[in-house]
Structure 1
Amino acid sequence: MFVLILAYLGGVLTIISPCILPVLPFVFARADRPFAREGLPLLAGMGLTFALVATLAAVGGQWAIQLNQGGRWLAMAVLALMGLALLWPRLADVLARPFVALGGRWSRHADGGSPWSASGLGVATGLLWAPCAGPILGLVLTTAALQGASVTTTVLLLAFSAGAATSLALALMLGGRFLASMKRALGIGEWLRRALGVLVLAGVAAIALGLDTGLLTRLSLASTARIEQRLVDVFADDPAPPSPVPQLGVPLPVEGWMPPLDGATGWFNSPPLTRAGLRGRVVLVDFWTYSCINCLRALPYVSDWAAKYRDHGLVVLGVHTPEFAFEKTPGNVARAIESLGIGHPVALDNDYAIWRAFDNRYWPAHYFVDAQGRIRYHHFGEGGYERSEDVIRRLLADAGATGLPGGYVSGDGRDAGAPASTDYTRTPETYLGHARAERFAGGELVRGVATDYYAPAALALHQWALQGRWTVTAEHARLERPGGSVVMRFRGRDLHLVMAPIAGDRPVRFRVTLDGAAPGADAGSDVDAQGQGTLDADRLYQLIRLRDGSDERRFEITFPEGGARIYAFTSG
């Protein structure tokens, strides 16, 4: 309920957000018409279209984004015809068949007043409004992308659009009274109609040039980002507290019963497992996803526990819950499981059913379940491995296991799975999609529109920038022309980047440099000493491993042939 209220309030605030400005001319083009007959259908069509397009953008992948861009251009063409018809009424009769006739009909309906034409105009306007997203809508879309298509997703998006429609409805009703009084008093109806036509065409031009998401955002003094972020902070639930430190002679607390595993969308290394079938065994549930650097570092310990205690009654169950859309593809997950050498059962949790059943929020997250099916301990993130292994032995002993092996697993991982450095000032995880982007130094990120970016000559520590023509979506940045690059000034021993080729299985070459030179001995496991590498799968790539430990360096990756999507940097 809190998130629903939050989404509605975020929509209400869009009336003072810069991204609503291009929509206003189309709304006020009907300001002097009856609200119930024209204003309400327009707003309803606008809100429903927005919710549909936003849902597709959140869960549908690249094809939905391309469809939305095509829909935007189609909507702009129709609305431009409407604007011209408002300027020159006779043009609506002259423009001919078949698509232009549709614009003429909409123009004539603007004079005659039809709920259907108003709702059709709302559909077109909704396509233009769909890229407008602040922190609250970004939160909703991220949740949608993680959890998959659901009634909850649509309800949240409808709540956001309903909030915006509420604000627009108030403005429309007040604006209609104001305009009607002006027409009665001054008799300027014809000029007013022409002025509205000019405003419509100006709005279409602004959107076509990308000004609706770029320039207007930079010029506006009424940005609502801070207000929305405060609302997020107020309504967000508190994170789950850590389990108490186990004490000798003190029983581990019971934190609840293990939830069912019914929501898994697939299984690897095992037939489907059930809660009832696991009764009598100690279970370690490991939430992970294959491009998560923290998961990759914890995975060697998890795999070693599975091998060490398998014959003593332990079942390690990996729950692969995706963070990015490409991690939902079963073939990608299967390849990751094989390359990482995972031998224990893995449940594919694409719908986030098991994640929600555990009320989990973290990658990695480990839940320790006793032989009776009760959760007795949990640990979030990396570290605490010896304590976790002590809990495993304790639960196995309580279940009657004897002759348990002593000592602790080494968990020696290689490449990206190697333990992190002890430099706690290293660059934090940095997302490159606009929904969670931070520390961008190349001006403003333009949402969903192909834009030319220019990287500054100097970057502060932890800052990054784009060079070349990119389209920045909520989840990733997509290179539109060959030769584009990404620059970052990072601190750490390692630098990784989650990437994917645009054309699926067609390999993409890339080149990395450190302080303008080839990395040499500082090259990561996915590049050679000259900095050359190949993007051949949707995954995390280790690009830098400094031989002398953690340091501050300027990094650049270039894609000479284009064809890349980039998601997030992580350091080590």
Structure 2
Amino acid sequence: MDQKRSLGFAVAAVAAAAATAATCFGDALGLARSPTGAGNAAVEAPFDTSAHPVDMLQSASPWLLPAPESPRSLRGKVVIVNFWTYSCINSLRALPYLRAWSQRYADKGLAVVGVHAPEFGFEKDPANVRLALDQLDVRYPNLQDNDYAMWRAFANRGWPGIYFIDAQGKVRGYRLGEGGYAEGEQLIRTLLAEAGLDLAHVPQTAIEGAGVEAQADWADLGSPEAYLGYAKAVGFASPGGLNPGAARSYAPAASLSRNRWDLAGIWKVGGEYALLERSPGTIRFRFHARDAHLVLGGAADGRPVRFRVTIDGRAPSASHGVDVDAAGWGEVKQDRLYQLIRQPGEIVDRTLEIQFSRPGVRAYVFTFG
């Protein structure tokens, strides 16, 4: 899973107990399964992780949200390091827990540190990341890791990658992907207690995400992420296939089976994204999941791009996501993940269609939950 998104909870291969835990380590469909039992335990850090992780953080830059005094104030604290990227649904669904841990234990000696390691080009722009930090209410320190220096130093494997470091600066646990948050918090409490902190009056109340941060419906998740750029694209169904790097008129497929997608209109498909060259333009995807998201980038002129979403040819109504209304209307204003569908009822195979009103929009990857 090197430099790929994690769909669900997947732990490092060194943990034999995690053999049933899916995703990029052997699930034939590349789908997540809800973590249970022993596979939830945090595991040892990758063998090539830096022996001095806090020292590495102290010397790193640039800091988008710095530590209250300085990065050197991390020494002697229990530190949680979260590798993430702001358009990744797996990273977003971990944020409620990281925020809550920071709020509960900051005055007890815990420091949560985000390391933003971008997947797409637009995530390298510090202005975009700062806007995302504000909109996502992330207040703990965050480092921009555009060149993956910290990623390599920690030997991280994907998003989210969460490291638990004790007050002596030793990595005591590592989690790759989503899940097992109760065990993660218990490890935090153990490390703080070892450092002499009294947690008797700090309750462990339930943590729940809302909106796009709500946990996935793992039991009904039948669709993996699907990239639209030719470098990672799979499942493309338009007649004639993809024409990498050149503008071309695409037609919809006669039919779509599960996890297949197509384009209609004139698109230029690059390595990272599909760019709509002339309007109108449409993307369809046949999916099986409660939630459907699409990472989108705005037009170069900076003006919003209106779009309309339908599900099985109809307005989504009660099945609309947070970024569209009941009639299916939304607009691309920023480069980020957009939640298009959240179904309240029975989950069956459905066809999502999104049509854009004008050219210039960039479509990167579908993700589901």
Q: Do the two structures share a fold, i.e. TM-score over 0.5? A: yes
Give the aligned partner of residue 465 of structure 1.
262
Which deviates the most, 403-412 or 377-386?
Answer: 403-412
Task: Tell whether 2:149 aligns with 1:353.
Answer: yes
The equivalences for 1:522-561 within 5 A come to: 522-561=319-358
Equivalent residue for 1:340, pick from 121, 136, 140: 136
1-structure distance, mates of 2:278, 2:69 = 45
Give the aligned partner of residue 22 of structure 2.
none
SS at the partner of 1:423? helix
CA contact (8 A) 1:301 1:410 kept: no
1:108-134 CA distances to partner (integer Å, 9 max, x unpaired)?
xxxxxxxxxxxxxxxxxxxxxxxxxxx
Give the aligned partner of residue 292 of structure 1.
88
Give the aligned partner of residue 241 of structure 1.
14
1:267 deviation in Å? 2.3
Give the aligned partner of residue 433 of structure 1.
229
Provide TM-score, normalisation by structure 1: 0.55
Q: Which has the higher helix share?
A: 1
Equivalent residue for 2:187, pick from 357, 370, 391: 391
The equivalences for 1:72-111 within 5 A come to: none
1-structure distance, mates of 2:335, 2:271 = 17
CA contact (8 A) 2:220 2:288 kept: no
2-structure distance, mates of 1:329, 1:342 = 17
CA contact (8 A) 2:82 2:161 kept: yes
Give the aligned partner of residue 32 of structure 2.
none
Q: Gaps spanning 5+ residues in structure 2: where?
A: 4-10, 19-36
Provide TM-score, normalisation by structure 2: 0.85
CA contact (8 A) 1:430 1:570 kept: yes
Equivalent residue for 1:408, pick from 204, 212, 219: 204
- Cα 1:242–1:408 shift into 2, 3 Å: farther
1:277 deviation in Å? 3.6
1:190-225 CA distances to partner (integer Å, 9 max, x unpaired)?
xxxxxxxxxxxxxxxxxxxxxxxxxxxxxxxxxxxx
1-structure distance, mates of 2:290, 2:64 = 36
1:415 deviation in Å? 1.4
Letter in 1 for 2:347: S
- Cα 1:240–1:511 shift into 2, 3 Å: same
CA contact (8 A) 2:220 2:290 kept: no
Task: Tell whether 2:107 aligns with 1:311.
Answer: yes
Relative contact order higher in (CA < 8 Å, ≥ 6 apart): 2
Equivalent residue for 1:257, pick from 52, 66, 78: 52
SS at the partner of 1:488? strand
Q: Gaps spanning 5+ residues in structure 1: where?
A: 1-138, 144-237
Give the aligned partner of residue 194 of structure 1.
none
Letter in 2 for 1:318: G
2-structure distance, mates of 1:350, 1:470 = 29
1-structure distance, mates of 2:84, 2:346 = 27
1-structure distance, mates of 2:329, 2:93 = 25
Task: Tell whether 2:214 aligns with 1:421.
Answer: no
1:272 deviation in Å? 8.3
2-structure distance, mates of 1:552, 1:304 = 35
Give the aligned partner of residue 22 of structure 1.
none
SS at the partner of 1:319? strand
2-structure distance, mates of 1:562, 1:293 = 26
Equivalent residue for 2:296, pick from 499, 524, 533: 499
CA contact (8 A) 1:282 1:396 kept: yes
1:312 deviation in Å? 0.6
Superposed CA RMSD in Å reads: 2.6
- Cα 1:522–1:242 shift into 2, 3 Å: same
2-structure distance, mates of 1:422, 1:358 = 29
